[in-house]
Amino acid sequence: MSDSYRRSGDGFMRCSDGHVRWGIFGAAGVVFVCDSEEGRLAMVQRRSAFAHEGGTWSCAGGALDEGESPLEGGLREASEEVGAVPEQIVVLGEVVFAPATDWAYTTFVVHVPEPFGASINFETDDVAWLPLEDVERLPLHAGFAAAWPELKDIAVQER
């Protein structure tokens, strides 16, 4: 798929609270975690200058397509931005940011067997796997920074 391909959910919308947000049908992302000798690690993605709040770190994610569940959309967006998601996943939990009656961003915490991923499209400058306690030391995307404490609490759960 080309980076110029337009999906059904791509676009900005004015939400019921008056703010303009990306994703006509809402949006979703995924924080992938895995276990290592150093403990639990989380995948973070540095957003390119072409993305909102470029240069900050976040998780892979984006606009949902029409009829797509938040989990389906988050996993699809991740595969487009950082590469094929491993088949063996365990959803540990989710955090929903719903500031308007007609728009929400759902972030899933998903356990995978091992690290994966790379910068594979124009939206991603870098991918890193870090210990959970190191994530908040990065310059984070504002929305991700607000959700990180709750996401981190989910990420420490055993599978």
Asked whether residue 100 is assigned to any structural domain, the reply reads yes
Range of the domain at 88: 12-155
Asked whether residue 77 is assigned to any structural domain, the reply reads yes
Asked whether residue 141 is assigned to any structural domain, the reply reads yes
Per-residue model confidence (pLDDT) at position 1: 43
Strand partners for 103: 100
Answer whether 86's CB lies under 8 Å from 110's CB: no
Asked whether residue 3 is assigned to any structural domain, the reply reads no
Strand partners for 90: 111
- Sequence-separated (6 or more) residues with CB below 8 Å from residue 93: 108, 109, 154, 157
- pTM beyond 0.85: the answer is yes
Asked whether residue 2 is assigned to any structural domain, the reply reads no
Answer whether 94's CB lies under 8 Å from 106's CB: yes
Question: Which CATH number is 114's domain given?
Answer: 3.90.79.10
Alpha helices in 19-137 (DSSP H): 70-82, 132-135
Answer whether 110's CB lies under 8 Å from 92's CB: yes
Asked whether residue 130 is assigned to any structural domain, the reply reads yes
Asked whether residue 7 is assigned to any structural domain, the reply reads no
Answer whether 40's CB lies under 8 Å from 159's CB: no
Number of domain units in the chain: 1
Per-residue model confidence (pLDDT) at position 53: 79
Asked whether residue 111 is assigned to any structural domain, the reply reads yes
Per-residue tens of pLDDT for the chain, all 159 residues: 444 567 888 899 999 999 999 899 999 999 999 999 989 999 999 988 888 778 899 999 999 999 999 999 999 999 999 999 999 999 999 999 999 999 999 999 999 999 999 988 888 899 999 999 999 999 999 999 999 999 999 999 877
